[in-house]
Amino acid sequence: MFESSSTMRINNLMEKALDVESLRRKVIANNVANVDVPHFKRSEVNFESELRRVITEQRNPDNRLPAILTNERHIPFYIPREIESVKPRINLDYNTTARNDGNNVDIEKEIVDSAKNQLRYNAYITMLNNSYRNLKNVMRPA
């Protein structure tokens, strides 16, 4: 019962967000390390847009296209997804080229992304700590 509470679902989502920010930090570090490698294509982590899509689908179930399945082999138009099933994806950016050698890593953008990443990570840690502190206070005997 307690594991399915909204507090624990939010905590699980924040833990997943921390994992994503850690992965994003590794991807940014890889981009910075390869800034001088010819034909290197930068990578980026995609998580928030997929999470937003799943949350929107859960909030608006009426936007689904109805389908009549008359056989068990029919493929449904809509397969419901849970927030826990959303996983981060690492995408290569093939569309841009920053330099003549084919490398598209912009060091200034990577440094700004790194700073944003660190701020988000610290915010998630603070929120998670506050949530666990509140749980600890609630469970403390009187």
Query: How does pLDDT run along the chain (142 residues), one tens digit per residue?
Result: 456 677 888 888 899 999 999 999 999 999 999 999 998 999 999 999 888 888 888 787 766 677 778 888 888 777 778 888 889 999 998 888 777 888 999 999 999 999 999 999 999 999 999 998 988 888 887 6
Q: Report yes or no on whether pTM surpasses 0.85.
A: no
Domain ranges of the chain: 1-36+104-142, 48-86
Tell me how far apart the alpha carbons of residues 41 and 95 are, in angstroms, rounded to a whole number: 9
Q: Tell which residue, 119, 102, 104, 114, has the closest CA to residue 45.
A: 114
Interior angle at CA 67, CA 51 and CA 65, nearest 5? 45
